[in-house]
Structure 1
């Protein structure tokens, strides 16, 4: 009887240890966003300066932009554009749903057909991790650290500022070794 109680006690401690270490790992993997985003300042045209390789952007060769506006439902309208190898403009329209109002730093974005965007599946995380006070540069990612973008209001921002944002991304646990620098041909 004593042996059985000892085994149960050991199993209980193992389970608690596993639960505790899992919780610690989950906390380490959490991702901090900016405390608050003023949407009226964030809206408008952004130039993609750098990104982690993405399957849905593989055709984009240059002039990658994102324009954010408010749609008739009060959500973000997303208009992504780029130029492919043949010089054709590619366009992807989506909708962003703020998931942490009134802070506005965590957005779920869907590029599904408009008729089914209201469904919660098929939405990707778009978290604003860093933005300068004048809303001229932003760092956007997601909690699994698979996607990352450096965005700027100008097509050719100061390189030191870009490096600062990439270093910050590294402190958050993002690998920046595979970042693709976006070519912007606009002067």
Structure 2
């Protein structure tokens, strides 16, 4: 599967709104107004805050994203979350591959090597 090359990580930072996705076991089934907020850390990693609302109640999780291979120009990242969020003791790591991004950095498709997960997002 092809991924974006030479992703401008600084341009990617900010709030992205989910507009479509494949259902996944780790996201609430009835989540609405789902968004992801990315902030660049001083060490080059990315702070990730995922937020969704279930029955009007806010649900969120924080994590860290980093390049899977620091020497590669491909936008293949790993993202690590700690669960449960209120007692971060168990690290869970997943793939975060930027499969497509438009030249204005307004729309993105994110997935991974298994093709089980796919998110379409718009920049907010």
TM range (shorter): 0.7 to 0.9
| Structure 2 residue 53 is the aligned partner of structure 1 residue 83 | yes
* Structure index of larger Rg: 1
- Could you tell me how far apart the structure 2 residues matched to 1:35 and 1:71 are? 21
Match of 1:107 in 2: 77
In the alignment, structure 1 segments of 5+ residues that lack a partner are 1-30, 155-187
Q: Deviations over 1:48-69 (max 9, x none)?
A: 0011101111254211000011
Number of residues of Structure 1 aligned to a counterpart in Structure 2? 119
| Structure 2 residue 122 is the aligned partner of structure 1 residue 137 | no
Bigger share in strand: 2
Q: How does 1:134-173 map to 2 (within 5 A)?
A: 134-154=104-124
Match of 1:94 in 2: 63
1:73 Cα deviation after fit: 3.4
| Structure 2 residue 47 is the aligned partner of structure 1 residue 53 | no
- Could you tell me how far apart the structure 2 residues matched to 1:134 and 1:108 are? 24
1:72 Cα deviation after fit: 4.2
SS in structure 2 of the partner of residue 55 of structure 1: coil
- Could you tell me how far apart the structure 1 residues matched to 2:32 and 2:66 are? 27
TM-score by length of 1: 0.59
Say whether the 8 Å CA contact 1:60–1:82 is kept in structure 2.
no
What's the Cα RMSD here? 1.9
